[in-house]
């Protein structure tokens, strides 16, 4: 379990990671370090809620966590969409900007030495990435295109024995949007390179073989 002080920071942070799934994410990331070398990487940090669980896991496992987000919000975070939070719009640009909230979350939690903030478009970062990952968490854009690109460009970087965690996987369309299931989870399973080792809510944990 994440230490009690960090856990309070995670629960106080804004975002979309339920408590039980955050705890499962922590356990999966600490365990991942027993099975593969390399850093951890998160795609989609928003205000840093999941990042605190993963940063705590990275500290416990003596790894670095790269947290990738352009901090401009996903399609579903924009004005008029279901997951929009109006106070996160920068009045100067009229655009979503979660970077300041994210920085506060990480600094307040004391994780600035463990979490490396990568501000950029996920596919652009992925195309220049070459370090095998012990743990990859995908929770970025949930449309078909961003989900497909995150699958295609990031999952090849999971080390053999490494772990792939996917958030918001809803096999039943009545429970939520489909792309994390259809465009990330199913292709990973069907590739034969990943086997499922854990399920908590919409969080799926897969191991690379
Ligand atoms: N993991 C977070 C929630 C992430 S929400 C939590 O626990 O609360 C999804 C995030 O993905 C948003 O912050 C959005 O800015 C980011 N995102 C969406 N598409 C992206 C892209 N193409 N490149 C980088 N980040 C992206
Ligand atoms: Mg999510």
Residues labelled catalytic: 142
pLDDT score for 94: 87
CA 156 to chain CA centroid, Å, is 16
Residue with tokens 């004391």: 110
pLDDT score for 59: 98
Kindly tell me the number of DSSP H helices and DSSP E strands found in the chain. Answer: 8, 9
Ligand 1 pocket test, pick from 141, 145, 201 with the greatest ligand atom count within 8 Å of Cβ, gives: 141
Given the DSSP bridges, would you call strands 89-90 and 95-96 parallel, antiparallel or unpaired? Answer: antiparallel
pTM comes to 0.98
CA distance 204 to 52: 19
Ligand 1 pocket member 73 (CB < 6 A): yes
For 106-141, how does the pLDDT look when each residue is reduced to its tens digit (9 = 90+)? 999 999 999 999 999 999 999 999 999 999 999 999
What is the sign of the dihedral through the CA atoms of 45, 48, 49 and 50?
A: positive
- Read off the DSSP letter of residue 198: E
pLDDT score for 79: 86
Neighbours of ion ligand 2 (CB under 5 A): 16, 139, 167-168
Of all ligands present, the nearest one to the C-alpha of 122 is: 1
Ligand 1 pocket member 166 (CB < 6 A): no
Ligand 1 pocket member 76 (CB < 6 A): no
Residue with tokens 């995150």: 150
Q: Which ranges in the chain belong to alpha helices (H)?
A: 4-12, 19-32, 49-61, 99-108, 122-127, 144-154, 179, 186-190
- Exposure class string for 65-93: b at 16+ Cβ within 10 A, else e: bbbbbbbbbbeebeeeeeeeeeebbeeee
> Binning pLDDT at 50, 70 and 90, where does residue 71 land?
very high
Ligand 1 pocket member 101 (CB < 6 A): no
Count of other CB atoms within 10 angstroms of residue 62: 8
- Read off the DSSP letter of residue 99: H
Share of the chain above pLDDT 90, in %: 93
């Amino acid at each position: 379990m994440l230490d009690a002080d960090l856990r309070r920071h995670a629960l106080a942070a804004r975002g979309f990671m339920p408590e039980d799934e955050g705890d499962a994410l922590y356990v999966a990331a600490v365990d991942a370090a027993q099975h593969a070398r390399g850093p951890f990487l998160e795609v989609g940090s928003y205000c840093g809620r999941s990042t605190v669980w993963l940063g705590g896991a990275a500290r416990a496992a003596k790894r670095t966590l790269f947290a990738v987000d352009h901090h401009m919000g996903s399609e579903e975070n924009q004005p008029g969409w279901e997951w929009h939070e109006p106070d996160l719009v920068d009045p100067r640009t009229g655009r979503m900007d979660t970077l300041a909230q994210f920085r506060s979350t990480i600094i307040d939690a004391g994780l600035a030495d463990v979490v490396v903030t990568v501000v950029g478009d996920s596919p652009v970062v992925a195309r220049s990435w070459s370090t095998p990952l012990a743990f990859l968490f995908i929770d970025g854009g949930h449309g078909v295109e961003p989900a497909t690109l995150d699958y295609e460009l990031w999952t090849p970087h999971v080390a053999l024995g490494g772990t792939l965690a996917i958030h918001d996987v809803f096999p039943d369309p009545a429970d939520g949007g489909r792309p994390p299931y259809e465009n990330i989870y199913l292709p990973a399973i069907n590739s034969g390179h990943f086997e499922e080792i854990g399920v908590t809510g919409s969080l799926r944990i897969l191991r690379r073989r």
